[in-house]
């Protein structure tokens, strides 16, 4: 039960970080990574508690998608910082040319 509380607090901390800390694009990406890591830990612990070893491929798929999301996010941040010369979210007005 203590591990469940830790995983849920990690998830909600990442969610609150996304909602409240929208100053830099990198901080939003880090909060998204915290959400995905908490989901991975929660699913891995659920599989260990239920002794289900057939669903370990789902954990690997989640880790792979997390790494892809991180690389795409960092490439977006590099592209946005090159075009707008900053990573501040409030300076990014993507609807205008």
Element holding 4 (H helix, E strand): helix 2-20
Would you state the pLDDT for residue 21?
Answer: 82
Mean pLDDT in consecutive groups of 10 residues from the start of the chain, 97 residues: 89 92 85 90 82 73 87 88 80 65
Considering Cα of 78, then 36, then 21, then 6, what sign does the dihedral take? negative
Would you state the pLDDT for residue 53?
Answer: 65
Domain range 2-91, CATH architecture:
Orthogonal Bundle (1.10)
Considering Cα of 62, then 63, then 67, then 70, what sign does the dihedral take? positive
The answer to whether 74 and 29 have CB atoms below 8 angstroms apart is: yes
Nearest to 16 by CA among 1, 28, 2: 28
Q: Where are the domains of the chain?
A: 2-91
Would you state the pLDDT for residue 60?
Answer: 82
Would you state the pLDDT for residue 52?
Answer: 67
């Amino acid at each position: 039960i203590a591990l469940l509380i830790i995983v849920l607090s990690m998830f909600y901390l990442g969610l609150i970080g996304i909602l409240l800390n929208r100053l830099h694009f990198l901080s939003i990406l880090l909060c998204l990574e915290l959400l995905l890591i908490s989901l991975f830990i929660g699913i891995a612990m659920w599989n260990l508690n239920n002794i289900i070893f057939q669903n370990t491929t789902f954990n690997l798929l989640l880790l792979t998608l997390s790494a892809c999301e991180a690389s795409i996010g960092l490439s977006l941040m590099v592209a946005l910082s090159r075009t707008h010369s900053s990573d501040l979210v409030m300076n990014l007005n993507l609807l205008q040319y």
